[in-house]
Amino acid sequence: MLVLGGLAFVAMLKKFRENRKFSIALLVGSVIVFALMARVGNLGGRIQHEEIKGLEQEAQRAGANPKTK
């Protein structure tokens, strides 16, 4: 992601608007990086911590709603 940002910055400074292949390569790279970061975020959201799950189950048994805090 850092490399892609650096290349985009260089393209902005050098005005690579005339070179369509470079611009298309940057666009494709950006889409790929976006897809990978979305995948990482999705996988990170699926992590289930047993210590948190245990607290939620105890709160449900006690009749409290832990998600309202």
Residues 31-48 pLDDT 10s: 998 999 999 988 887 777
pTM over 0.85: no
Q: What rounded mean pLDDT belongs to the chain?
A: 76
> Count of domains in the chain?
1
Give the span between the Cα atoms of 7 and 43, in whole angstroms.
28
Q: How far is CA 44 from the centre of its chain?
A: 9
Range of the domain at 8: 2-68
Is residue 7 within 8 A of residue 26, CB to CB? The reply is yes
Q: For position 4, what pLDDT does the model report?
A: 77
Task: Compute the average pLDDT of residues 55-67.
Answer: 66
Q: For position 49, what pLDDT does the model report?
A: 67
Backbone angles phi, psi at 13, to 5 degrees: -70, -40
Give the span between the Cα atoms of 33 and 4, in whole angstroms.
8
Res 64 pLDDT > 70: no
